[in-house]
Structure 1
Amino acid sequence: MPDRADRHVQRWLPVLPDLDPDVEAVVTRVSLLTRHLRAVKERALADVDLPAHEYDTLHALAGRRGRAAPSELAEDLGVAPASITARVDSLVRRGLVERIPSSTDRRRVDVALTDAGRAAWRGALDARGAEEHRLLDVLDPDERRVLSDLLRRVLLVAEQPGS
């Protein structure tokens, strides 16, 4: 059954006769899936009343077992350390994180997920995960593995310096 990418390729082939239909179809499908998953993420975040930057901060904290130094969060998120302070302040006011003394350095304060913060993060994560599984459940486990391996090969080229 033709999809939007097939229709896109058919529309452009007469205009661009040297267009590689397979390359164009793959790129179009990746773009459409990315757009779809971004919209799913936005809806999931709206459902738990989380701006994307706050979700990303909770996600980074969860990935560090629920506790991290602000400098670690800044590094994980690729942002300036000064911007973490404002994010954490907002999350503290909402009761989603708390500042606690560091267990390794008395001069330092760590940021920790609260139960409410973990619940908000999980709510958004579970909604996104349900849609990801819905999409990929059309493939059997071997097909998913092959798709993942093929996408890895393409991504490794994109991640090379100078790309």
Structure 2
Amino acid sequence: MEEPRDQTDLHVERWLPVLPDLDPEIEGAVTRVHYLSAHLKRHREQSLVDFGLQRHEFETLHALAGRGGRAAPSELAGDLGMAPNSITGRLDALDRRGYVRRTPSATDRRRVDVELTEDGRAVWLGAMDVLGNEEYRLLGVLDEKERRQLSDLLRRVMIKAEQA
């Protein structure tokens, strides 16, 4: 019985006669990573639409949740790779929607902290669940050992990419 084929198999077959030196395994791996990334991006974008979030709103809520639900605006800006004064507009919009609130800092009265509200946490988790479910659906075809192996192999590739 023949193993199932995907769109990448067709892609590689189409390009091998054009580029005879093409390594089909490298082309296959890179193309599959690209297609998988695009697939997950479509699911993320749809989850944001479903939960009424713009990407930058989700990213800000995600950064805040990753800091335990409370952070200084400058910390969030750093996490998001933004200038500290650029975060204010994002926080204003999220505050108006009831997803975050600003409170005086417990350690420095000149500073405010941003807190994730229950509504903000709920909308962030809802969007995360949609994407997480799709990730589990896709990677669920692999057993635990295979998932660990895939992660390890991709780590080796990423370490090389990060050295650039």
TM-score range (shorter-chain normalised) is: over 0.9
Deviations 1:89-108 (A, max 9, x none): 00001000000011110110
Cα distance between partner residues in 1 of 2:106 and 2:65: 18
2:150 is aligned to: 147
* Structure 2 gaps, min length 5: none
Deviations 1:18-67 (A, max 9, x none): 00000000000000000000000001111110000000000000000000
Cα distance between partner residues in 1 of 2:91 and 2:40: 26
**Percentage of identical aligned residues:** 65
| Structure 1 position 68 matched with structure 2 position 71 | yes
Q: Where do 1:86-101 residues align within 5 Å?
A: 86-101=89-104
1:127 is aligned to: 130
3-state SS in 2 of match to 1:142: helix
| Structure 1 position 109 matched with structure 2 position 128 | no
3-state SS in 2 of match to 1:110: strand
| Structure 1 position 18 matched with structure 2 position 21 | yes
2:7 is aligned to: 4
C-alpha RMSD of matched pairs (Å): 0.5
Report the number of matched residues.
161
TM value normalised by structure 2:
0.97
| Structure 1 position 49 matched with structure 2 position 52 | yes
3-state SS in 1 of match to 2:28: helix
The amino acid across from 1:35 in the alignment is: A
Cα distance between partner residues in 2 of 1:148 and 1:4: 23
TM value normalised by structure 1:
0.98
3-state SS in 2 of match to 1:104: coil
